[in-house]
């Protein structure tokens, strides 16, 4: 199988149709990325926008990176941010309210009680910068270096954010366990 970089380069050099194979390879992953953060319906709506932007930007792809996923996640991230901004604007116009909360979708997927909700609350409470690295690694199975590339930060920064986020989660779960077993003084 040809690396994504080869297909993208080919698509930029007179064979634009080669790009469709890149989309085909990663469509489930990109849709899942969108769905995890904005819900299924929004993911359905936004997927095509990701392909159009990626196609338009393919001339700037770094062909030394064989796997296009981090690049595509970066584009999907921008599309999501715009979506959230627009949704907030629409809702504010319609109801005088602010903010759509992508974590509602996460809560919908979890049991009302149990450690999952505790962990979800802990993740939600993380600083956004730490949460984003954590979820790119945990949900998208990326390395900290790949996450750093998407976020435009040094790899070392991504690693330390990930370390802090994991430490927070461990602490929350350990405390919950101690509360439940009565091990805490």
Please count the other Cβ atoms lying within 10 Å of the Cβ belonging to residue 179: 11
**Among 26-34, 66-74, 79-87, 149-157, which window interacts with other proteins (CB under 8 A)?**
26-34
40 binds other proteins (CB under 8 A): yes
The answer for residues whose C-beta is within 8 angstroms of residue 2's C-beta and 6 or more apart is none
Token pair 């064989």: residue: 66
State in angstroms the smallest separation of the CB of 75 from other proteins.
12
CB 115 within 8 A of CB 176: yes
DSSP 100-127: --THHHHHHTS-SSSHHHHHHHHHHHS-
29 binds other proteins (CB under 8 A): no
Residues in 60-89 at the binding interface with other proteins, rule: CB under 8 A: none
Please count the other Cβ atoms lying within 10 Å of the Cβ belonging to residue 103: 13
Sole binder of other proteins in the list 27, 65, 155, 160 (CB under 8 A): 27
CB 73 within 8 A of CB 140: yes
Residues in 104-133 at the binding interface with other proteins, rule: CB under 8 A: 106, 109-110, 115-116, 119-120, 123
DSSP code at position 124: H
Q: Which of 11, 32, 70, 24 is nearest to 51 (CA)?
A: 24
State in angstroms the smallest separation of the CB of 52 from other proteins.
4
CB 124 within 8 A of CB 111: no
User: Which is closer to other proteins, CB of 53 or CB of 65?
Assistant: 53
97 binds other proteins (CB under 8 A): no
User: Which is closer to other proteins, CB of 154 or CB of 170?
Assistant: 170
Residues in 141-180 at the binding interface with other proteins, rule: CB under 8 A: 166, 169-171, 173-174, 177-178
Residues binding other proteins (CB under 8 A): 16-17, 19-20, 23-24, 27-28, 31-32, 35-36, 40, 43-45, 47-53, 55-57, 90, 93-96, 106, 109-110, 115-116, 119-120, 123, 134-135, 138-139, 166, 169-171, 173-174, 177-178
């Amino acid at each position: 199988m040809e690396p994504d970089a080869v297909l993208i380069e080919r698509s930029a050099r007179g064979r634009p149709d080669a790009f469709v194979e890149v989309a085909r390879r990663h469509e489930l992953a990109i849709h899942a990325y969108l769905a995890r953060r904005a819900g299924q319906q929004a993911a359905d709506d936004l997927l095509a926008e990701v392909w159009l932007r990626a196609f338009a930007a393919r001339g700037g792809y770094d062909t030394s990176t064989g796997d296009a996923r981090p690049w595509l996640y970066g584009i999907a991230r921008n599309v999501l941010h715009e979506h959230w901004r627009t949704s907030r604007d629409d809702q504010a116009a319609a109801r005088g309210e602010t903010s759509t909360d992508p974590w509602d979708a996460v809560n919908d997927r979890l049991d009302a009680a149990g450690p999952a909700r505790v962990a979800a609350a802990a993740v939600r409470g993380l600083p956004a910068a730490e949460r984003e690295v954590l979820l790119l690694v945990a949900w998208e199975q990326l390395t900290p270096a790949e996450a750093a590339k998407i976020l435009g930060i040094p790899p070392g920064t991504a690693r330390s954010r990930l370390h802090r986020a994991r430490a927070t989660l461990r602490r929350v779960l350990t405390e919950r366990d101690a509360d439940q077993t009565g091990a805490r003084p």
